[in-house]
Structure 1
């Protein structure tokens, strides 16, 4: 294991339910109709992908650009300069960074990734932070994980990925990484996909011990 790549939402930041609530409200306010399968379908999509989904699939009466702007603005407001960190998130990144290069590969837009890094003073320990907006396709495509490994200069096969959602797990598996699952309690991943993870944790704080066990 030469590097560790973290997802952000649901792994380090308790934001999956917040994303869902904000998107639901925007759809409802602008003439769309929410479909229950949308919640999991949207997890991992890049901003252009989920904005288009809210318009073309759910019938939101805005352009995709307007949807994206509205949702991201509300998410930024909800963060209020300090994202809702999950327990042990900051400490875990610091502990892992003492032994491995670390990166973030997230579906959040860069502004929210940077808010997290700035609020935790982790920018200096996380040399690579990539949004799926910056690659061809969002999760479950492997693009954002492959890009993170390439920027680290490390083969994906020598990276561990830490993920919580079905689409995130699929993306990391498709990239060829060793996958560590931290299931989201609000939106549990597909058990058949989670079963492919090398380890499954109750919380991200267990990660340093899990990495040590995997490395033998």
Structure 2
């Protein structure tokens, strides 16, 4: 794959960096997909491979809306769960399933800490607040990050730009001076819509991202090349 958006001026340097969490910093995205499938099945809704791809990167609120809607269509209004019931099931199951796989991806911690020596760094995630807090402490980044923003901190989760707008507000930087690191279409759409420059790190995903820069993952040697070019070596 290649970047889908034009890169900034060669003299551009990030004054802040905002990382996505799942699929970028830790391999929890597959666990979150299992949560969705388990909860959906409990309400009589099947999530096939194509649907799983379409839902990738969305928040629990959006997944709950989808599952409740599918249940209504399949089983009728009277038998369908409320969005709130599906949301509670998602959050409860996420705490159980995702909580068991809190390990950083290769290169993730090193990259975050290298950048934090030079610029303020944050995380912007569609996770719930409690789960995101747990993730940041589990991988040892809580003291490195300036802040982290969950889907519960803003009106709308990704692909809306709200999470990234809140992150740059908290960091006190302009969007155009900020780099976002994303692996999903929903997340890269959110970051680009908020006016950030996007480093795509798809980690094996083949879905096209809205990205200005592209690496395979934070373990890709190309990350070190980028950072050296910006005067921020690993």
Q: What is residue 40 of structure 2 aligned with on the other side?
A: 27
User: Is the CA contact (8 Å cut-off) linking 1:163 and 1:169 kept in structure 2?
Assistant: yes
Q: Normalising by the residue count of structure 2, what TM-score does the alignment of the two structures yield?
A: 0.81
Residue 119 of structure 1: aligned partner: 138
Question: What is the deviation of 1:56?
Answer: 1.0
Corresponding pairs, count: 211
Cα deviation, residue 81, structure 1: 6.1
2-side partners of 1:184 and 1:91: how far apart?
17
Give structure 2 stretches of 5+ with no counterpart: 1-13, 75-79
1:102-121 deviation digits (Å, cap 9, x = unpaired): 01111111112111111123
Cα RMSD of the aligned pairs, angstroms, is 2.2
Aligned to 2:191: 172
In structure 1, the residue matched to 2:3 is none
Name which of structure 1's ranges 73-82 and 167-176 shifts more when overlaid on structure 2: 73-82
The answer for the alignment partner of 1:8 in structure 2 is: 21
Contact 1:161 1:179 in 2 (8 A): yes
Answer whether contact 2:43 2:71 (CA < 8 A) is retained.
no
Correspondences of 1:83-162 after superposition (within 5 Å): 83-162=102-181
- 1:209 match: 225
Structure 1: unaligned runs, 5 residues or longer: none
TM-score normalised by structure 1 residue count: 0.87
CA change 1:173–1:212 in 2 (3 A) is farther
Larger Rg: 2
SS in 2 for 1:122: coil
